[in-house]
Amino acid sequence: MRRLTLSLLLLALLGLLSLGNSALLRSVSAQLNETLAQAEAAAEQGDWETAQALTQAARDRWEDWGDYLYVVLPHDYTDQVSVHFQEALELLQWGETAEYAASSGRLMAAVDHLSEAQALTLRNLL
Amino acid sequence: MIIALFRTILLYLLIILGIRLMGKKQVGELEPTELVLAMLVSDLAAVPMQDFGIPLLFGVVPIVALLCITMALSVLTMRSRRLRLLLCGRPSILIRDGKLLQSELKQTRMTPEELLEELRLQGVTDLTTVKYAILETSGQLSVLPYAREQPPTARDLKIPVPEPGLPLTVVENGQIYPENLRRRGLDQVWLQAELRRQQVPLEEVFLLTVDEARQVYCVRKEGTV
């Protein structure tokens, strides 16, 4: 009986931790994308400095979570986001509106994908 | 990670179902749950081992989940006959009272040739000598010959024979196992005396066993005098 209880408890714990991880990823993605959306809005207004500061802040936040994200996500996903951040920051420096908008879109999609791919949905299960 | 966990559970159940549908013959020597565990765990461990882009957790979580499920199922099958029947099936009697049961052979999808092969592997070439042949849930075939086909035992011949003892290892590679000495009601004094009697120093003992009747079996290490 003890083995059964321990097994079921451990399984439940794994489930809870996994769900917690999904929730955390959703929260981190949402925060990053909110900041990136503000940066994109600032760039559209021509305020490149604000856009750059916001994007850098988002990147700093991304790097704060770096170790954890590399442990719980395939490295392809996390590497992609890092590359897109770099790309967006470079384009902001040059003030390239169209390219920056496209790059920002890709970055936000990649950030979204991090949490989406780990969400408990039928699409992901199948 | 939650996806990996759920997929693990779904795939595990699916493979169990597949193994059950395949039948006992294909299972070999393991119960279906054990076979599935063995198949999956090695593959799961190999994935993060070979691809460094995949976090270790993607292998660890499914493996731990599998172990938990297998443990839970093994406890539940011990308690529930119905679940045991569902997961492991029941033994099939292929030969009863010397007669081949064709319907059972058909159900287990075993051909007569395969049955004869299994019987030969057990040293049986004459079907008429077999009272029962049972295909167990593990896929192994148990063969029970007629009593007249079995060699006579000492009891049949009314010959008194001493009971064999269970040898316990007391010394292995020069190392004493004190708990086994105690189990045999012996001590170091007895051991030293026995080693003197065998004319073997302790460090030269490869194996020394003692059974309940204090029967000693001693093997000296190779290369020593």
A-chain residues near B54 (CB < 8 A): 74-75
For residue B110, the number of C-alpha atoms closer than 13 Å in the C-beta half-sphere is 30
Query: Which of A5-19, A36-50, B65-79, B98-112 comes out lowest in average pLDDT?
Result: B65-79
**Is A125 within 8 Å of B55 when comparing Cβ atoms?**
no
CA atoms of B135 and B24, how far apart (whole Å): 8
pLDDT reported for residue B162 = 82
pLDDT at residue number B6: 78
Q: In the structure, what pLDDT confidence band is assigned to residue B73 with cuts at 50, 70 and 90? A: confident
Tell whether the model's pLDDT for residue A24 goes beyond 60. Answer: yes
pLDDT: which is higher, B56 or B27: B56
pLDDT on residue B23: 58
Establish if B83 touches chain A: CB-CB under 8 angstroms.
no
Nearest CA in chain A to B79: A1
Query: Are B2 and A75 a contacting pair at CB < 8 A?
Result: no
* pLDDT above 90 coverage of chain A, percent: 61
B61 lies within 8 A of chain A by CB = yes
Per-residue pLDDT, A41: 92
Is A43 in contact with A51 (CB distance < 8 Å)?
A: yes
The dihedral over CA atoms of B91, B95, B96, B97, expressed in degrees to the nearest 10, equals -150
Mean pLDDT for A52-78 is 92
Arithmetic mean of pLDDT, B198-225: 91
pTM score over 0.80: no
- Of A9-13, B8-12, B196-200, the range with the lowest mean pLDDT is B8-12
Structure tokens at B52: 């460094």
- Give the distance from residue A125's alpha carbon to the nearest chain B alpha carbon, in angstroms: 6
Residue B19 reports pLDDT greater than 80: no
> Looking at this protein, which amino acid is placed at residue B43?
D
Structure tokens at B9: 């559970």
Of residues B3, B56, B71, nearest to A120 (C-beta): B3
Find the range with the poorest average confidence among B36-40, B89-93, B159-163: B36-40
Q: Do B68 and A4 touch (CB under 8 A)?
A: no
The reply to whether residue A125 touches residue B52, judged by beta carbons under 8 angstroms, is no
> pLDDT at residue B209 above 80?
yes
Q: What is the pLDDT of residue B195?
A: 95
| A-B contacts at Cβ under 8 angstroms | 72
